[in-house]
Homo-oligomer: A and B are copies of this chain.
Amino acid sequence: MNDLFLDRLIDLALEEDLGAAGDITSVALVPADQLGKAELWAKEEMVLSGLEAFAHVFARVDPRVKCELEASDGDRTGPMQGIAQLEGPLRALLAAERTALNILQRTCGIATAAAKAAEAVKGSKLKVIDTRKTAPGMRSLVKRAVRDGGLQNHRFGLFDGVLIKDNHIAAVGGSITDAVRAAKANAPRLVKIEIEITKLEQLEEAITEGADVVLLDNFDDARIAEAVKQANGRVELEISGKVTLERLPILAKLGAAYVSMGAVTHSARAMDLSLEVQTIRPRR
């Protein structure tokens, strides 16, 4: 299925890398009809994500490149494991290689980081969710990688959920009640209302007005526990702010439903993947 937004990102990435001048090394050295094949390798342990986008980059450069996947998004691979086989015009393989890997090493990095976070809260009821802190143009790839790593997604964008922050509350005059009521009156029909609070005292008002979720902004552990106790199941609670992998097991014991974690998407390390390209002797 086509993803028109992803197509635009891939085109942009190819155009910045190739320019109108193209891959001058290949043009100088590789005959236009030279065929090649390539194997994609995971060079360390990782959770895979973004394989279709990887394949799509090659198809965009030249539809004659065939890519056969030997693993799937969400799979955990050992080091030095083959993931995909490609075959097609050698110039196309070389022209697409870096752009395709630049995507894949990031999506696999995010899926792998997500899997670590999922592992850290395993067995508890706490669910780790992502944020909108994604590289520009990569939102759908990143959201998918987070799911491939075993976490759930928070809002995709500004359009699929109401999240009332302090600025919004200030804009309606400072009252949580007014803010939630305005949201309920004006928001689209099928989105939930989440409201960020910075003080424990604001919780009751948010619950009373029927917010669907309350975000505890930068609460310490004690205050989180207190909020959970006070909410007593009447509203979903989300922990946010300074969340690290190390802190997750502690947070998991506090009883909140969700914790959002920016680092999974904004600072995941790129995975080590490589493409071994080989020349195929032309038949003639």
Contact = CB atoms under 8 A, between A and B. Distances in A.
Contacts of A190: 154-155, 160-163, 191-192, 194, 212-213
A213 B3 CA distance: 29
A266 interface: yes
Interface stretch (A115-123, A133-141, A246-254): A133-141
Contacts of A202: none
| Oligomer copy total | 6
Interface stretch (A76-84, A99-107, A223-231): A99-107
A222 to B, nearest CB: 23
Nearest to A13: B136
Contacts of A92: 1
A266 B271 CA distance: 9
Given A162-B25, A194-B190, A5 B1 contact: no
Interface of A: 1-5, 8-31, 34, 36, 60-63, 89-92, 94-95, 98-99, 101-103, 105-106, 109, 129, 132-140, 143, 152-165, 167-168, 170-172, 179, 182-183, 185-192, 194, 212-213, 258, 262-263, 266-267, 269-270, 277-279
Given A36-B167, A105-B133, A171-B29, A159 B161 contact: no
A267 B137 CA distance: 18
